[in-house]
Amino acid sequence: MARLAHVRLLARSRWHETIPIGGPSGQGPYLNGAVLVETRLPARQLLRCLLEIESRLGRRRPQSPARTNLAGSGDLAGSMGLAGARWSARTIDLDLLLYGVDCYESRLLRLPHPRMSFRRFVLEPAVEIAGWMLHPTSGTVLARLLWRLNTARDDVAIVATGSQASTRQAAEWLSRKLALTLGCRWWKHEDSVGPCQVPADKLIYMLQPCREFNGAQPTCFRQEEERAKHVLARTKLVIVWENRPVKDRMEAATEAQMRSDPMTAGSPISRGPLALILTTDAQQALAEALAAIRAIWPAGAIGSAEAPSPATSPQAQNV
């Protein structure tokens, strides 16, 4: 990377050996690191350079017809073959995590990286060299995100960000399925929340690991201790499943910016680790949510994953 034109390497972290999160079972440990660079290259061009480095170092990304058709034959996604075995072992994997404070969404690239705010194996090396950098969609610096992961309770919040019945039903379905799959407690949070958090008219479900849970079906209940005003400020992870295609979200974000809508144009949902899932596929949403929770919950607090059955997916319920 230091030999790229218009790129200057400023700092690099040490290597961090970590256990694999998600993907096929039986994988060995991973080596993760971070670098800080100064560049005049646009984000998409820098990403293209990173993918070319991957190719020179021996990585082969299998071609994905679905991604090619989605992006178009002339798009970088089609020419580089970005899809492969999800979260499986690879020779090298170079991700563009942050590009200053820019926020950008396309079928190829999302900035900041959509999963960096809740992954310790990303944040630990990044904080080592650039803990002062702002994570723009969370509204806080990287060091603060890592501190939250290390100190907050293991509670996870699933938030419905819209008032439509389909959005709320999707959030409830995801909460139920996560609780059954992970063997954990869950309940609906009904209190209002404070400033810089989700407004009071939004729906919030809470998950909490239960290490001595006997495997029976969890029941929905409320805990009095959860009646705090700033519930999202105390959770380890907030999950938002926007049950719509990326294209629709990009169009909505553009419209929000044009009318200066603070709730959708850039005001953070949570000033902490956030998993924003953009898909209309229930099984993909569940897989993303499970991987996010496994990245932040301690070993032994969760069970084995299950795939959602078609009969109970939001699509089957016309959610």
Q: What are the pLDDT digits (tens) for 186-244?
A: 888 765 444 334 444 568 888 988 654 444 444 433 443 444 345 677 789 999 988 76
Count structural domains, the chain: 2
How far is it, in rounded angstroms, from Cα 290 to Cα 182? 8
Domain around 192: 152-243+279-312
Does one domain contain both 197 and 284? yes
Whether 248 is covered by a domain: the verdict is no
List pLDDT tens digits, range 103-125: 988 878 889 998 999 999 999 99
Sorted by sequence, the CB contacts under 8 Å of residue 227 that are 6+ apart come out as 191
What is the pLDDT at residue 142?
96
What is the pLDDT at residue 86?
65
Does one domain contain both 284 and 182? yes
Give me the mean pLDDT over the 261-274 stretch: 58
Does one domain contain both 170 and 292? yes
Q: Residue 21: which pLDDT band, with cuts at 50, 70 and 90? A: confident
pLDDT, averaged across the chain: 74
Does one domain contain both 116 and 216? no
Whether 144 is covered by a domain: the verdict is no
Does one domain contain both 194 and 304? yes
Lowest mean pLDDT across 11-20, 23-32, 176-185, 289-298 = 23-32
Does one domain contain both 67 and 215? no
Rg (CA), the chain: 20
Whether 250 is covered by a domain: the verdict is no
Does one domain contain both 163 and 203? yes
Answer whether 197's CB lies under 8 Å from 270's CB. Answer: yes
Of 96, 130, 164, which residue is a domain's last?
A: 130
Does one domain contain both 84 and 197? no
pLDDT at 32 over 60: yes
Whether 163 is covered by a domain: the verdict is yes
Whether 92 is covered by a domain: the verdict is yes
Q: Which residue has the higher pLDDT, 81 or 233?
A: 233
What are phi and psi for residue 180, nearest 5 degrees? -70, -40
Q: What is the DSSP string of 15-82?
A: PEEE---SSSTT---EEE--EEEEE-S-HHHHHHHHHHHHHHTT------HHHHHHH-TTSHHHHHT-
Whether 159 is covered by a domain: the verdict is yes
How far is it, in rounded angstroms, from Cα 88 to Cα 12? 25
Whether 1 is covered by a domain: the verdict is no
Which element (helix H / strand E) includes 210?
Answer: none
CA dihedral 286, 287, 293, 296 (to 10 degrees): -160
List pLDDT tens digits, range 247-259: 555 555 544 443 3
What are phi and psi for residue 18, nearest 5 degrees? -135, 155
What is the pLDDT at residue 34?
97
Does one domain contain both 101 and 164? no
